[in-house]
Structure 1
Amino acid sequence: MARHQDSTVKPYHFTFVISIICIALFALALPNLAIIHTNELLNYQYDAIEHGELWRLVTGNLLHTNGWHLAMNLAGFWVIIFLHELHYKNHTGKLILLFISLCLLEGIGLFLFYPSLKAYVGLSGLLHGLFTFGAIMDIKKGLLSGYFLLLGVIAKVAFEQYFGASDGISSLINARVATESHLIGVVAGLICALVWSPMAHKFKHSK
């Protein structure tokens, strides 16, 4: 009997959909196409969230400051999915749930621990979480590379907390690099990895 795949939707399908959403939201915010002011409605704004606009906790991750910001984040997204495809290729639902969880944890983390950060957009915090999660899954599969990836992302974020991000990147994206979001992303990735393993084990043995 042929083995059935868990889903007809594959990781790259989901990555493509998210990419299209990010590109569409960016295009809608362009001055000559500004039919809907997506940035004003959807970006992470601390004060607006405090007044009940909770969707911004998630949607702020999907917006970008300019074309370079968008291109770098989407390139990073595709590279990370390619790097850790083995963890999602038969479990795209896992990737979708992880993406949503990281979006939410990123927004909540910034809101709770960095109230001085009044506005934020971009996938970079979430990407740090996705990278961290993948590295830990590598380690759990016995891949030595997982240790190097995990140590690398921790070292990068620790460096940023003390010395800040590159001035060149800030100039390129026309905004200060929110290194706080990278730290929150790594912590969110660790939390998701720690929670996922026992949940997956319980689900596997409950079938």
Structure 2
Amino acid sequence: MFLAYRFLEHQSPEALSKMLWQHKIGHQITFNQGVHELWVVDKAYATEVHRLIAIYEGHAPQEEVVINSSHAKQKNAVLNKNTLYLACKQYPVTLFLIAITLLVSLITQLGTSYASLGWFTITPIIVENNLLYSMPLSSMWDTHAYWRLLTPAFVHFSMMHLVFNLLWVWEIGRKIEKLVGAFVWLIGVLIMAVASNTFQYWDVQSPLFGGLSGVVYGCIGFAWLMPYIDSKWPRLISKGLMMFFLIWLGIGYTDLPSSLGLGNMANTAHLVGLVSGLVCALVYGLLIKRR
């Protein structure tokens, strides 16, 4: 991170911060020695940041601030063509995670097609004479099907569950990926998914569970803890949002979700995912401090 701007006492940082987020520039506003400071994640954005600061201060030429409609339409057309490419370049792991989840949800028909569902559960399931049979966890080790430790994360059993998880993976996961890089984010996703799936199976002794909820809770835990480890890390999770996820975690241990028609929640996966995210934050924080 680098210090890009020190606000005057009468200046409010909200407007500049909003402009930076609109341009997808990771940053953090801190308060130091009586004034606000703007810290930007990557020096590669320095030129764009200085341009936006000039606009914020009112020093930029008017034509840079107000664009005529024809030019705006041309610019939007170019942006629309490049949006997918840029997104794939910036958030490859997050987009792949979303794409494979949508594909698996389609193949399994949201968990209603047991024949295809058995390809992705942590242990194989077999349907014979309208009866459902599951194999022990040892069968996964015996056949070296280690990918089954991961694939339950892609299985969802309702549209609401699918949309909820994908929205949070996109909202928080892509920001984490941009801050830590695709490789580190991939390792984090694998750890969160495998840990939450494994402990959930050990808890219920049944392969009929799934979802990205463990990864979502891992994202929440990681993003919440990092600003406490590194003061320059942007605060992606508010206290209110963290409280919401903790309350929802607690509700999962009650009968309320079932009474609302949401079914049984994979509570252990949620809890282990959260703990995994916190542990990943601690390890990552120690590593970056040693650089």
TM-score for both structures, normalised by structure 1: 0.73
Asked whether the 8 Å contact 1:87–1:134 carries over to 2, the reply is no
Matching of residue 190 in structure 1 with residue 278 in structure 2: yes
Q: CA deviation at 1:118?
A: 4.0
Structure 2 contact 156–211 (Cα < 8 Å) conserved: yes
Correspondence 1:1-207 to 2 at 5 A: 10-30=89-109, 37-45=115-123, 47-51=135-139, 52=141, 53-81=145-173, 85=175, 88-89=178-179, 91-112=181-202, 114-142=203-231, 148=239, 149-161=241-253, 163-164=254-255, 166-167=257-258, 170-171=261-262, 175-202=263-290, 204=291
1:30-85 Cα offsets, whole Å, 9 max, x none, are: 39xx8x95411111348443322432221110111133332222112112236xx2
Provide the rounded CA distance (Å) in 1 between the counterparts of 2:244 and 2:236.
Answer: 10
Partner amino acid, structure 2, of 1:74: L
Secondary structure (helix, strand or coil) at the match of 2:157 reads coil
1:12, distance to aligned residue in structure 2 (A)? 3.0
Alpha-carbon distance, 1:169 to partner: 6.0
Larger proportion of strand: 2
Q: What does the per-residue CA deviation read over 1:90-149, in whole Å, with 9 as the maximum and x for residues that have no partner?
A: 62222111111111211232244x144442111012211111111111322436775725
Structure 2 stretches lacking a partner, 5+ long: 1-42, 46-85, 124-133
Higher-helix-fraction structure:
1
Bigger radius of gyration: 2
Moved segments of 4+, more than 6 Å: none
Q: What amino acid does structure 2 have at the position aligned with 1:14?
A: V
Corresponding letter in the other structure for 2:96:
V
Q: Is 87-96 or 117-126 further displaced after alignment?
A: 87-96
> How far, CA to CA, are the matches of 2:146 and 2:280 in structure 1?
21
Task: Tell me the distance in 1 between the aligned counterparts of 2:95 and 2:221.
Answer: 21
Query: Percentage identity across aligned positions?
Result: 18
- Which residue identity is paired with 1:63? V
Q: What SS does structure 2 have at the residue aligned with 1:41?
A: coil
Q: CA deviation at 1:160?
A: 3.0
Aligned pairs, number: 189
Give the aligned CA root-mean-square deviation in angstroms: 3.3
Which sections of structure 1, spanning at least 5 residues, go unmatched? Answer: none
Contact 1:25 1:63 in 2 (8 A): yes
Question: 1:88: Cα distance to partner?
Answer: 3.0
Q: Distance in 2 between matches of 1:4 and 1:49?
A: 48
Counterpart in the other structure of 2:23: none
Is the alpha carbon distance of 1:121 and 1:166 closer, same or farther for their aligned partners in structure 2, counting shifts above 3 Å? same
| Alignment partners' CA distance in 2, 1:68 and 1:191 | 29
Residues 181-206 of structure 1: CA distance to partner in whole angstroms, max 9, x if unpaired? 2111111112212222223334x2xx
Q: Is contact 1:61–1:123 with CA below 8 Å preserved after alignment?
A: yes
User: Normalization by structure 2: what TM-score?
Assistant: 0.54
